[in-house]
Structure 1
Amino acid sequence: MKTFKNPILPGFYPDPSICRVGEDYYLVTSSFEYFPGVPIFHSKDLVHWQQIGHVLNRPSQLDLDGTPCSRGIYAPTIRYHDGLFYIITTFVESKTGARRNFYVTASDPAGQWSNPNWLETAVGIDPSLFFDEDGKVYYTGNRKPPSGQTHLKHNEIWLQELDLEKKELVGPTYSLWDGALKNAHAQEAPHLYKINGWYYLLIAEGGTGFTHAVTVARSKKITGPYESAKANPILTHRHLGRHYPISNIGHADIVQTQAGDWWMVCLGSRPFGGPYRNLGRESFLVPFIWENDWPVINPGKGIVEMEMPFPNLPEKKWPAKQACDSFDAPHLGMEWNFIRTPRGDYWSLQERPGHLRLKLKKETIMEEKNPAFIGRRQQHMNFLASTVMEFAPTKEEEVAGLVLLQNHQYQFRMEYTVEKDQKVIRLIKREDGSEKVLAKSALNASKLFLQVEAQGQDYHFYYGTSPEQMNVLKEKVNGAILSTDISGGFVGAYIGMYVSSNGAESDQHADFDWFEYRGIE
């Protein structure tokens, strides 16, 4: 029997939402404080996915200035109707401030997507759109119950009609459901479907951590009342323990194939080296069937497995992504991200062709700002990342090198700089805002090769003046601080190139000739 391996999108790709148009499938995920926002993927077989762009790739669409870590863009939903793609999502502006919802549209999912249509009266997070058979369009989201919360994080799912011509919510609001479980909390991620005469409301509850779960209710009327499935939660892994290979399964969306089969995408994590989830929340795929007009996930097992039967679809593999980016293209590859909306002319692929030039900024990666950092997701438990850099620091404030990043308070920086008129390469561990130099070596080099190798939670750092002569900077560094289990938040680990003048004036830059990232056995 042909099988596939989960996750279908490894690394920090949480909150998947999916739609089908003919024989084509499209999937989007959350992006939080990273820019461009909302990566979008295309597949023919539900297993092999190729990124075709970012939905929010213009500063006019996404202003992340001042957005704290693990805020920003939450839980997009993608839908297709009458020749147009719709993506609706939440922009969380601050730790305690507004949660604003908006949608964008495009005729081509690869872009360009419209500027945001803000729904100023839409409260809550994780919105979704539903196009009913009578032509009406509905918005669903979550909110505090109008009658008041009975316990911490008690929410309900609510509904209101959306007028696409006016681009605003109209008419009465309806309370639909506040979850399946007694004292349920963090009811969110609602998706509505109409199947065989029933309206189904699929939601997440229990929070996005270990107790995450998928629950479902149904009604003959879109406004309710909704009947909770007696089998709820229909999908969770919280009963399997914290050391099960896949944890915190939840936040799901469903799709029917052209062959008539049903599949669910959901988020989950793969803990390793203990209950640590450096890779963040990833996207998984699981089949389900219908029994008595209720969904039954992975019949006979009820869980998401690492290896599962391949969908009944023609397999379509995409060309393999090159492990090494030589920065020869006129644009950055889709795997690269900035932290927040890039401000200032601080990077270039044209000033020195064949190189990525990063110009030193005053901003640092230890602040919730837009530092001179370009990075990509860690997608493997075991990986090798390396680069070659040309950099000539003259001040102690000037640094350049590699960063392994969870957020501004939890990171490893392998940076080249000046200390007391001597050039050095050093490894700094930043944990909960406190810094410690783990290793340091004097080095005077115009060209510097940097390498990080991870074997589970053991991270090894190397440097050299040629790839044939690499020196140990520090080995067996525990990487668990790159997990949200220690750092908090909702994102996964990144690795990338970074420069800064640490608040000082500088006209320096660093040139990176190539960057290689690959998983290793």
Structure 2
Amino acid sequence: MNIISNPILPGFNPDPSILRVGDDFYIATSTFEWYPGVQIHHSRDLKHWRLVARPLAQATQLDMRGAPDSCGVWAPDLSYADGRFWLIFTDVKRYGVTTVNGAKGASLRDFPNYVVHCDQIDGNWSEAVHLNSSGFDPALFHDDDGRSWMLNMLWDHRPGRGRFAGIQIQQFDRTAQALVGEPHLIFKGTDLGFTEGPHIYKRDGWYHLLVAEGGTGWDHAVVMARSRDLLGPYDVHPDGPVLTAAGRREGPITRAGHGDLVELKDGSPWLAYLCGRPVPGKERCILGRETAIQPMRWHDDGWLRTLDGDARPVETPQAPDLPSIPWPQDDWDGRFDRDFLPLEFQWLRTPLPERLFSLSERPGFLRLYGRETVGSHFEQALVARRLEHRRFTATTCVDFSPRCFQQAAGLILYYNSTKYYYLNISVEGEARELQLMIASPLLAEGVTMETVGRLPNGPIELRADVDGDVLIFSWRAEGDTNWHILPQRLDATILSDEVTCPGLPNFTGTFVGMACQDLSGMAMPADFSWFIYEGGEGTCAPVD
């Protein structure tokens, strides 16, 4: 039986926008504060996907230095018109706290929306053009009369208001790359609230509006409404949500919502949507919000429904009747003996990666230049990749000779500036030592540091093993056969949306990678010779 295993994009890949151009399917997902911005995956059968582009890679397109955690690039929308790809996105600059001492005040947030375009999905995209800042989750709708329209949710910052004021639309001039005319509020949402993530589709003379509602947690949902007139009024789907996992906090697919539709050549609709997979027995998703997909059906009454009509997400839907086209596997062996960074890696916020790392300064190594503290919102030397498995092993080898206690480098599991585990090499007096740094909202101190022990001279291998909710670190000198296992059994689930400081956004997922700090400002480098990530049931904890 030819089935699709959800999620199709495992690990932090939220807010999918799906597009078909001929025989090719593309999905764009949010990247928030991680650089370069926006992930675009490619498939020809809806089952096998590969990462082909991160289009926002220049300072003229995206600069997130100073952006708070979980800000940056929200909900990109990918479309195609005039023989070119269009990408529209929000670059969130501020996420204002809505309450102080329990009292609601003004929620002042900055949501500039931009558009870029390119003739090729993996080409050099245009400079970003600012369109508006009235709310987030922008999308483009290209009508069959040749006109294009921009949608976004409308943010109401005033005290006592609902914040999520509905969906507005305004005409977009593709030639001028500018909005024209006046915006129109076309949909105020349903009682589920948190109306966001709009998309419009035209079918049989109806304009179908799809939105996300219920918040991005356990009650998330895909909701639809329709109208004969683009500007409304819109009637809500008689069944309620089109897709939701509300009421489910365990199981293979939860938190289902924020979707987008694509039609196959035969006209059959498929819905891509975000979801979460909690660690068994825990209501925490350390992989963040992922992307799933399943077939839908237009019924005789003109409304969209799941195949069973139950509005529930499906873990293993039947694959479409398309030729199976798997992609070749990347043969990278984990060594940094190439002149470019492997595509799975990203860094934080800055469009100036040459200030963070180099693959040429010491050939065969990834050199990280010690920069600001772990969790800095400006210039942090941290290069990492997404977790894609709930059981995995990550190992690296670092050559680092710190001269003072302000310098450190090592292996990190990072969610954001308030949640991470960091096994690092530093120095105390004349001796190098291994330290464990932990940041968690559950700690009274916020961040703790513990000395593990002294280290021998030479390169050091560092290892992290995660099995469900347990994280174990270990280390050894390069060339040794035995691992020195740290005694702590650490709680991996703090690296999730669900563990948070009050009032702070948590919309991303956990990364594992390499980091280097030099708080003296001297940019002391650390050289990493390799990094290996192994996920799946075959991994296991190290043994003595």
Q: What TM-score does the superposition give when structure 1 sets the normalisation length?
A: 0.95
Aligned counterpart for 1:209 among listed residues 200, 213, 217? 217
Q: What is the identity percentage for the equivalent residue pairs of Structure 1 and Structure 2? A: 35
Corresponding residue of 1:379: 388
**d(CA) in 2 for partners of 1:508, 1:71:** 29
Q: Distance in 2 between matches of 1:311 and 1:271?
A: 28
Equivalences for residues 48-127 of structure 1 within 5 A: 48-96=48-96, 97-120=109-132, 122-127=133-138
SS at 2:494's partner residue?
A: helix
Residues 156 and 163, structure 2, Cα contact 8 Å, conserved in 1: no
| Cα deviation, residue 259, structure 1 | 3.2
Aligned to 2:202: 194
Aligned 8 A contact 1:74 1:90 in 2:
yes
Give matches, 1:351-370, under 5 Å. Answer: 351-361=361-371, 363-370=372-379
> 3-state DSSP class of the match of 1:469?
coil
Cα gap change, 1:459 to 1:467, in 2 (>3 Å): farther
Within the candidate set 489, 496, 513, 1:483 is matched to: 496
Q: Among 137, 140, 154, which residue is 1:129 paired with?
A: 140
In the other structure, the counterpart of 2:514 is 497
2:100 aligned residue = none
Aligned to 1:458: 470
Size of the aligned set, in residue pairs, is 514
Task: Give the gaps of 5 or more residues in structure 1.
Answer: none
Structure 2 residue matching 1:99: 3-state secondary structure: coil
Relative to structure 1, the CA distance from residue 467 to residue 444 in structure 2 (aligned partners, 3 Å threshold; closer, same or farther) is closer
What SS does the aligned partner of 2:498 have?
Answer: helix
**Counterpart of 2:279 in structure 1: which amino acid?**
F
SS at match of 2:135: coil
- Mean Cα deviation higher: 406-415 or 484-493: 484-493
Letter matched to residue 536 of structure 2: I
Deviation (angstroms), 1:439? 5.7
Q: After TM superposition, list the pairs within 5 Å mapping 1:223-238 onto structure 2.
A: 223-238=231-246
Give the 5 Å matches for 1:324-403.
324-343=333-352, 345-361=355-371, 363-403=372-412
Q: Tell me the CA shift for residue 436 of structure 1.
A: 2.4
> Which residue, 463, 481, 494 being the options, matches 1:468?
481
Q: State how far apart, in whole Å, the 1-side matches of 2:439 and 2:365 are.
A: 29
Q: CA deviation at 1:167?
A: 2.0
The answer (yes or no) to whether the contact 1:211–1:248 under 8 Å persists in 2 is yes
- Whichever structure has more strand as a proportion of its residues is 1
C-alpha distance 511-154 of structure 1, shift in aligned 2 (>3 A):
closer
Task: Determine if contact 1:156/1:179 at 8 Å carries over to the other structure.
Answer: yes
Which string of whole-angstrom CA distances, capped at 9 and with x for unpartnered residues, describes residues 232-274 of structure 1?
A: 11111013x2123321110000101123321110001101040
Partners of 1:101 and 1:234 in 2: CA distance: 28
**For 1:118 and 1:518, how far apart are their aligned partners in 2?**
41
Structure 1 pair 144/58, CA: closer, same or farther in 2 (3 Å)? Answer: closer
Structure 2 CA distance for partners of 1:467 and 1:271, relative to 1, 3 Å = farther
1:309 to 294, 318, 321: 318
- Structure 1 window deviating more from structure 2 (455-464 vs 57-66): it is 57-66
Matched residue SS, 1:480: helix
Find the counterpart in structure 2 of residue 41 from structure 1.
41
Shift of the alpha carbon at 1:123?
Answer: 1.2
Deviations 1:154-186 (A, max 9, x none): 421111111122322111322211223x2x321
Aligned residue in 2 for 1:179:
189
Equivalent-residue separation in structure 2 for 1:500 and 1:245 (angstroms)? 38
Structure 1 residue matching 2:95: 3-state secondary structure: coil
Q: SS of 1:37's equivalent?
A: coil
Aligned equivalents of 1:123 and 1:263: distance in 2? 30
d(CA) in 2 for partners of 1:86, 1:507: 39
Rounded Cα–Cα distance in structure 1 between residues aligned with 2:13 and 2:522? 36
Alignment correspondent of 1:162 = 172
Q: Give the alignment's Cα RMSD to 1 decimal.
A: 1.8
Pair 507,167 (structure 1): closer, same or farther in 2 beyond 3 Å: closer
Q: Which residue identity is paired with 1:489?
A: N
Look up the equivalent residue of 1:201 and give its one-letter code.
L
TM-score by length of 2: 0.91
- Residue 102 of structure 2 corresponds to which residue in structure 1? none
In 2 relative to 1, CA 477–439 (structure 1 residues): closer, same or farther, beyond 3 Å? farther
Paired with 1:119 and 1:505, the residues of 2 have a C-alpha distance of 38
Unaligned runs of 5+ in 2: 97-108, 538-544
Offset at 1:107? 0.3
Q: CA deviation at 1:149?
A: 9.4
Quick one: which amino acid aligns to residue 133 of structure 1? D
Mapped partners of 1:505, 1:217: distance in 2:
55
- Structure 2 distance, partners of 1:117, 1:434, is 39
Q: Counterpart of 1:404?
A: 413
**Structure 1: how far apart are the matches of 2:320 and 2:161?**
41
Kept after mapping to 1: 8 A contact 2:63/2:351: no
Alpha-carbon distance between aligned partners in 1 of 2:258 and 2:194, rounded to the nearest angstrom: 11
Give the letter for the 2:239 counterpart.
A
Alpha-carbon contact 1:323-1:516 (below 8 Å) kept: no
- Residue pair 1:78, 1:86 contacting (<8 A) in 2 also: yes
After TM superposition, the structure 1 = structure 2 runs for residues 209-288 of structure 1, keeping only pairs within 5 Å, are: 209-239=217-247, 241-273=248-280, 274-288=282-296
Q: What per-residue deviation string (whole Å, max 9, x for no partner) do you get for residues 23-66 of structure 1?
A: 00111100111110001111101121111111101122111111
| Partner deviation per Cα, 1:337-385 (whole Å, 9 max, x = no partner) | 1111154533111122221111212x11132222111011111100110
Cα offset, 1:322, TM superposition: 4.2
Q: CA deviation at 1:300?
A: 4.7
Rate the CA distance shift 1:150–1:424 in 2: closer, same or farther, 3 A: closer
For the pair 1:295 / 2:312, whether they are aligned, the reply is: no
- How many angstroms apart in 2 are the aligned matches of 1:469 and 1:150? 61
> What residue identity is the alignment partner of 1:256?
E
SS of 1:293 mapped into structure 2: coil
- Paired residue for 1:9? 9
Matched residue, 1:509: 525
Q: Distance in 2 between matches of 1:156 and 1:333?
A: 41
User: 4+ residue stretches of structure 1 with deviation over 6 A?
Assistant: none
CA contact (8 A) 1:153 1:185 kept: no
Q: Which residue of 2 aligns with 1:435?
A: 447
Provide the rounded CA distance (Å) in 2 between the counterparts of 1:233 and 1:509.
52
State the 1:98 CA deviation. Answer: 1.7
8 Å CA contact 1:250–1:268 kept in 2: the answer is yes
The separation in 1 between residues aligned to 2:338 and 2:431, in whole angstroms, is 36
Shift of 1:288: 0.3
1:201–1:61 Cα change, 3 Å: same
